[in-house]
Chain A
Amino acid sequence: MDNKIKITFDSEAKREILDLLEKIVDFDGYIAEKSDATQRVITVDGEIKEDEFGGVRVGSEIFIKNDLPSLMDLSKL
């Protein structure tokens, strides 16, 4: 990732970023598919809430949690 262009977003833009990725936030605060709100997005650590959303990689399929252990794992890929 080091040699790639960094694309970042402000936390205020989180909802808009999710919209861009064709995702919504369901009534319980979890990120779900815009096309099917019953289908929650899954990360390697299970479902992900909006406030845990730290980003995305590879075709919007892999969601990244914003906590230290998740980013520690990511830093080693």
Chain B
Amino acid sequence: MGWLDKLKTLVEANLSVKNISLININYTKNSNNTESTHSNTENNPFFYDGKNQKLHIDLKQLENHPKLHKQVKEILQESIKEGNYLLENESSDLLDRLYSYNKSDSHYKKYLQVFDGVIPKEDYKALESSFFLRSILEKEKEVNVEKYKRGIIRQFGQRGGHIANLCTAGYFEELLIPIFNDYSKEDFQNYYQLVVEYKALTLFVHSRMKKKDIISSLKNKMGIAKQYGLENFYVHAKGKKNIKTVETCLSGFEEIYGAIPKVEMRYNNSEILVVKIILKG
């Protein structure tokens, strides 16, 4: 008897179960919690949602049935041994979206292919996740971008985070692909190093940056830009607070630092500001 049949046998002692396509394991700490509808009031650890062919197993309730608990544990272990994944709901949802994305002919996948074998492998992987993030940002309004970016930073460090910022701001397809197409591989890689490693083209302002940090970063960028003969670089700010801080920093900037700040893009609704800093001859 396979693990699923064993599980059905256990469950059917209390419930009528037909097909099962999804098993969800939960742990209702408070059985009186009205949101915890997965377990019934009869201290039954199983709940079957026939419409969605979904079986819920409440581990908290199972603790009251030691023998059953042991059997369920063994069955779940058997299911994993057979190649089934045991996934946290959020990870499972994200994995489903990734499967769909992989099957799709998203233009972001085509952009990504340009960089295959051209940029370092770890950068490529960070970029791959970043383009997926772009794809969901395009479809959905409520996306926890910072959470996804944190994941990229956790795997690929600050360099990965910078790649994600560049990617979500459109730099890869709007700037780097044309350079790749128009110049030699070596020239492209030198430019890529300038953009990604030295962060010469962009300053992404985040909420932890104070005015003095932004000014210091701007001066640093100006130094790099001059060193490599760049004529300008861009400051990106998102959110009211960051935009206000950037505006304060750039007030009188030209007179003090000899570079012209020019607003390139301002979306009041999505609270995005992009300022081009033009270096004087």
Contacts and interface: CB of A to CB of B under 8 A. Distances in A.
A37 B185 CA distance: 50
Interface in A20-77: 20-21, 45, 52-60, 64, 66-76
Contacts of A7: 22-25, 76, 79-80, 84-87
Q: How large is the interface on A (under 10, 10 to 19, 20 to 34, 35 or more residues)?
A: 35 or more
Contacts of A57: 80, 83-86
B59 A13 contact: yes
A72 B27 contact: no
B151 interface: yes
Interface in B122-140: 125-126, 128-129, 132-133
B27 A55 contact: no
Chain B interface helix/strand/loop/mixed: helix
Interface residues of B, number: 47
A66 B90 contact: yes
Contacts of A72: 98, 125, 128-129, 132
B152 interface: yes
Given A6-B92, A68-B133, A55 B29 contact: no
B151 A68 contact: yes
A2 B99 contact: yes
B46 to A, nearest CB: 14
B22 A68 contact: no
Contact of B21 (A6, A10, A20): A6
B262 interface: no
Nearest to B91: A54
B89 A12 contact: no
Contacts of B27: 10, 12-13, 15-16
A67 to B, nearest CB: 3
A64 B151 contact: no
B60 to A, nearest CB: 8
Nearest to A76: B102
Given A6-B85, A52-B154, A64-B87, 6 more contacts: A7-B23, A7-B84, A8-B92, A13-B27, A74-B95, A75-B102
Interface of A: 1-2, 4-17, 20-21, 45, 52-60, 64, 66-76
